């Protein structure tokens, strides 16, 4: 059995994150020692490693919850897991497209900047007026 600190080290996940995953039900509640310390077994470590890897691949928590639910039923078809991974791939491709558009717009702004004074600065001008951009590189409304 591992304490939360040892589980944190073993899985490469911070202690507050482990507590959060327990709180939202991605990890089952830990057993407790006589001194009320959380204790985790191998299954908890494997599940936490799965969650960490899925997060590294950009999966949202709801998708991870669904994938964990699927992994708990190993004899069913993997079509649902494939669909979740396909949706994540589409989201990554959309982000890449936005980043490529962003890169192009930043490069265009810099090329058009004459390097003079701020009053004539193309970077400041374009940032102040989105209609002077060539493509739609917005990522949604700013908070």
pLDDT digits (tens, 9 = 90+) for 74-126: 898 999 999 999 999 999 999 999 999 889 888 888 887 777 777 777 778 77
Two tokens, residue 2? 């591992």
pLDDT of amino acid 140: 53
Q: Rounded to whole angstroms, how far apart are CA atoms 59 and 83? A: 12
The model's confidence at residue 132, banded by pLDDT at 50, 70 and 90, is: confident
For residue 84, what are the contacts with CB-CB under 8 A and spacing of at least 6?
59, 63, 66, 67
For residue 140, what are the contacts with CB-CB under 8 A and spacing of at least 6?
none
More confident residue, 135 or 109: 109
pLDDT digits (tens, 9 = 90+) for 4-56: 999 999 999 999 999 999 999 999 988 898 888 899 999 999 999 999 999 99
Task: Measure Cα distances from 47 to 68, 93, 115 in Å.
Answer: 8, 27, 54
pLDDT above 90: residue 136 = no
- Nearest residue to 107 via CA among 92, 128, 122, 129: 122
The CATH code that applies to domain 2-59 is 1.10.1660.10
pLDDT of amino acid 126: 78
pLDDT of amino acid 122: 75
pLDDT of amino acid 141: 45
The residue extents of the domains of the chain are: 2-59, 79-132
The CB density around residue 124, as the number of other CB atoms within 10 Å, is: 13
Task: Measure Cα distances from 38 to 12, 15, 77 in Å.
Answer: 17, 11, 35
pLDDT of amino acid 143: 38
């Amino acid at each position: 059995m591992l304490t939360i600190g040892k589980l944190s080290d073993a899985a490469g996940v911070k202690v507050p994150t482990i507590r959060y995953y327990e709180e939202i039900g991605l990890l089952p509640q830990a057993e407790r020692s006589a001194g009320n310390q959380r204790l985790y077994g191998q299954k908890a470590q494997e599940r936490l490693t799965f969650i960490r890897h899925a997060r590294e691949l950009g999966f949202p928590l709801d998708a991870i919850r669904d994938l964990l639910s699927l992994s708990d039923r190993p004899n069913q078809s993997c079509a649902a897991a494939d669909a979740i991974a396909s949706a994540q791939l589409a989201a990554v491709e959309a982000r890449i497209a936005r980043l490529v558009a962003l890169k192009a717009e930043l490069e265009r702004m810099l090329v058009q900047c004459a390097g003079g004074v701020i009053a004539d600065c193309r970077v400041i001008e374009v940032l102040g007026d989105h209609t002077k951009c060539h493509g739609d590189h917005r990522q949604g409304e700013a908070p």
